[in-house]
Chains A and B, each alone.
Chain A
């Protein structure tokens, strides 16, 4: 537990770029009404924001909710206070990962696998990152996806090897500098 000061969770979320306006939420619920996937969320977006402000760190970061954000930004288009709810969900996702929460969804594993591919190759290698993701989470699902993978392969849309990109070393250097600077 890290409830050092009142509303420490809110401050932490607000410090992540793009989420700084969370305090200006008026709880109108337009975000939840706009959300393409809200029916699947344990707590819909409006409630998540209320829970952050109520300092309910564990409940927010362990729920499946934030991981259902498809980044379609309809909430952000509609929000009358311009608080950018989608960005807030992304910020919460990053906190949940950083703190090792294990929400009941495979999306975190998929995101990490994709980011790993960027760090290794400089660009996303789609086949590689999906292969790793399925292996890690559900190898049986990989077998189920085989017909689709073969279909894409036949159509020349699934290169099996990553492209060699010179810039990948620059990505490594850039990220090393960011980490050294202590960015979260």
Chain B
């Protein structure tokens, strides 16, 4: 069993509930202990940094300090939390004035941040700590023939904090392949989904989403195997019908978080994986891969 200090992030309690359910469902079978950081608060997300950077870094440091106390690596599945916490960590390290502000602010609530905690993304943990061989070994229902477009989004792979290649990452593809699925070429796999502009500048974000889905569909994908980022998942899944109407598109691409896809291959219950909470139903695409166990349960 491998132990981590798990930071869900705010969206995992709302729009990304299906993603969070699947993360919790696959953790134990893959020998991961994801203990939630007690009494966690928001990391600030990207918008806070655009309102007040010093405040943003300081509230992120609360999470870093709480995680550090556990002595474990901080793991988050949200790409925005990941980049915000990683950035806070390195800004505190390189900026003495900021470090002093953070120290004084944390002291008012009896916390201390020493700068030793590691910030990691769940996909990186799945790839490096668990490993594709170990995942493959647990597969009971290979996803043979399922054509997937692996979508990484942006913040998970970008420097200065990202991992894997910033433009042509491979890890999700390798994980999907270990499940027996067939990753299709997907040139836009690391392009942005529009993030929160979907709320304030909807047209701009809808265009970006349409480009991604069109690209995936033209390359023969039957579904998207997405990173665990809540915003990527929501934009591609929940907004898909709006995008289709706007651009008169005829693709139909269920968006499965990679953790949902892993869960299917591990033979886990569909409801436990939150698949019934996906807006674009993955039922038809996954029909050939139901294990006997799943047929009994659903």
Check: B200 CB closer than 8 A to any chain A CB: yes
**B40, B45, B55, B155: which contacts A73 (Cβ < 8 A)?**
B155
A-B contact count (CB 8 A): 212
Q: A73-B154, A76-B158, A159-B13 are in contact. Are A174 and B91 (CB under 8 A)?
A: no
**A97, A151, A176, A183: which contacts B54 (Cβ < 8 A)?**
A183
Interface size range on B against A:
35 or more
Check: A50 CB closer than 8 A to any chain B CB: no
Interface size range on A against B:
35 or more
- Residues of A near B105 (CB, < 8 A) are 174-175, 177-178, 181
Check: A184 CB closer than 8 A to any chain B CB: yes
Residue of A nearest to B15 (CB): A157
Judging by beta carbons under 8 Å apart, are A90 and B50 in contact?
Answer: yes
- Residues of A near B101 (CB, < 8 A) are 178, 181, 183
Check: B277 CB closer than 8 A to any chain A CB: yes
User: Which residues of chain A from 103 to 124 have a CB within 8 Å of any chain B CB?
Assistant: 105-107, 109-112, 114-115, 118, 122-124
- Dominant SS at the B interface? helix
- Minimum CB–CB distance from B62 to chain A (whole Å) comes to 6
Question: When chains A and B are docked, how far (Å) is the Cα of A141 from the Cα of B84?
Answer: 30
Interface string of A125-138 (1 = CB under 8 A from B): 11100100100010
Residue of B nearest to A35 (CB): B192
Interface string of B219-249 (1 = CB under 8 A from A): 0000000000000000000110010000000
What are 14 A-B interface contacts by the 8 Å CB criterion? A17-B98, A36-B192, A70-B196, A70-B208, A73-B155, A110-B196, A111-B50, A114-B45, A115-B51, A126-B14, A130-B199, A133-B199, A183-B52, A183-B55
Residues of A whose CB lies within 8 Å of any CB of B are: 16-18, 20, 36-37, 40, 67-68, 70-74, 76-77, 82, 84, 87, 90-91, 93-94, 97-98, 105-107, 109-112, 114-115, 118, 122-127, 130, 133, 137, 148, 151-152, 155-159, 163, 165-168, 170-171, 173-179, 181, 183-184
